[in-house]
Every structure is written in C-alpha cells, then in structure tokens.
Amino acid sequence: MLIALALIWGASFMFIKVADRQLAPATLILGRLGLAAVTLAAIVPFATGTRETLAALRENAGWLVTVALVNTAGPFWLLSWGETRIDSGLASIIQAAVPIFNAGISFAFFREVRVTGIRLVGVAIGFVGVALLVGAQPSGKVLGALAVVGMALCYAIGGLLTGRHLRTVPPIVIALASTGIAAIAALPAGIAQAPHRTPGWKEIGSVVALGIPGTAIAYLLFFALITKAGAAYASLVTYLIPPIALAYGAIFLGERFGASAFGGLALVLGGVALGTGAVGVASWRARRAPARQPL
C-alpha cells in the first residue's frame, strides 16, 4: 500500500506538468479538487455515516475552512504555478522538505511537538538542501522554486493546525471538507482563466488522474496506512516520492537533473531523517550495541 501511494503521488508532479501546458493553475486545481470532492462525497457517507459527517462539519467549520485554504487551496495553486517554471522532478525534491518546515515551525510556535537536539541539526541540514536547490536555479526559474517552497511551508502549517484543532475529526471528513472548500475557493479564478477551446486529451486525462487517483484515492490510501500501520510508517512515503517523481520526469517528460539536484535531494532527505527522529544518535547506538543472549 505504501508503494502504491508513492507511485500515485510521485506521478502527480508529472501530470501537473502536462496539464500546465494548456491550463492555468487555477483552472487545473479547480478541476482536480472538484473531481476529488465529488469522489470523496460518494464514499464518505459509507465510511463515517451521513449524520456523523454533517455533525463533524458543523462543529468544526471554522478550522476546516482554515485548513482547507492553508493545506489544500494554497499549496495546490503554488505547486501548479511553480511547475510552469521548473521541472516536475525538482518540484518533488523541494516538496520532500515538508517535514523540515514542520519541525522548524513547531520549534517556534507549537510547543507540544517541539523538536530539540539532533533533530534541530536535521532541520538545519534540510534547509541547506532547500537553499541549494533554489540557489542553483537560473534567474527565470527562482520564483518557480520559491513557489514550491511556499507550498511546503503551507503543508507544514496546515498539518500542525490539523493536529492541534481537528484531532477528533475523522481524517476522511477532513479530506472531503478540504477538497470541497478549496474547490469553491478556486471556482472564480478557475472559471475566469479557463481556456477558450477544449484542451487536448493529455491535459484532460492529467486532470482526471490528479483528481481521482491522485487526490481522492491517495487520501484514502494514506489514511488507511495511518490507521493500520501508524503515522510513522505512513510518513515513509516522503522518502519514496522524489526518486519516483524523478524517474517519471526523466522517462516521460525528458527531464534531466544535475549534481545540484541530487545533492539537494540527499541533504533534504538526510535532514528529514534526522529532523523527524527516523535516524538519530540513540537509534545508531542501538544498532551498534551487541544483541543480548536470551536468559
């Protein structure tokens, strides 16, 4: 299930790049979010019940709107706009820095999940990797890279707000509210910037792929992973997405990446490993300690 999720989300960067050829970012995310919301609306009543879903939406309306704008509408647009200027594989590498921003913001504002010690070192390493990636871009692509950095920042803030204020809400209800509210927010600009002629089949197919498997089904897989295997295991998808997205971009879009991209990837993923506690001094010592014989 983890591999399936990584393959789906890794392909999303490629599909965004294809759809960007004929669709404005606002129109692209309107189609993506609209399809995802309709798909989830058909599933949620069976998963949580209509009454329970409506009650959760009413009781948490304010924070659901906030999270929808910060964690879905904003980052979806930033990523789509950013990919009009940079390669899909590079966007996936920068996106992998979400846990780094998460750790940095939590250190400053969210005391209940604050990181210290070696994990702060990981945060610093991850930021160096992001700076390397952005700084290595030609002048015409820097804004695109910064837009994807903004997307990662939005995801980090949205995740922390969700953990603090929507902890008791079923995750699939949060997904439905996020996609539905974000689609409404994108509606005016999405319609105003819609193309005057019907896009090609590749662009339409990319929007469908982004909306149904790339958002709705991916949400369901992600929440199922959290439920069955735990959040720590589900977070491993962070490490799998960039190499998969790089492969998709190289094979299907002809993208090529230099040493700075791979160096940035190594720093970002290394920083994520340290910053999230996946790798640390304690775990290293545990691996080095000799195994105890059974008594």
Per-10-residue mean pLDDT, the chain, length 295: 89 96 96 96 90 94 95 95 93 84 74 64 77 76 92 88 87 92 96 94 96 92 74 70 90 86 82 67 41 38
Query: What does pLDDT average to over the chain?
Result: 84
Residues, the chain = 295
Q: 3-state secondary structure string, 222-260? A: HHHHHHHHCHHHHCCHHHHHHHHHHHHHHHHCCCCCCHH
Angle at 80 between CA 188 and CA 9, to 5 degrees: 120
The pLDDT tens digits for 213-253 are 999 999 888 877 776 776 556 667 777 888 899 999 999 99
The answer for residues whose C-beta is within 8 angstroms of residue 248's C-beta and 6 or more apart is: 10, 11, 13, 14, 88, 89
pTM score: 0.84
Read off the pLDDT of residues 12-22 as tens digits, 9 standing for 90 and up: 999 999 999 99
**Tokens matching residue 90:** 């590079």
Q: What is the pLDDT of residue 167?
A: 85
Tokens describing residue 24: 């404005």
- Are the C-beta atoms of 202 and 18 separated by less than 8 Å? yes
> Coil, strand or helix: which one is 199?
coil
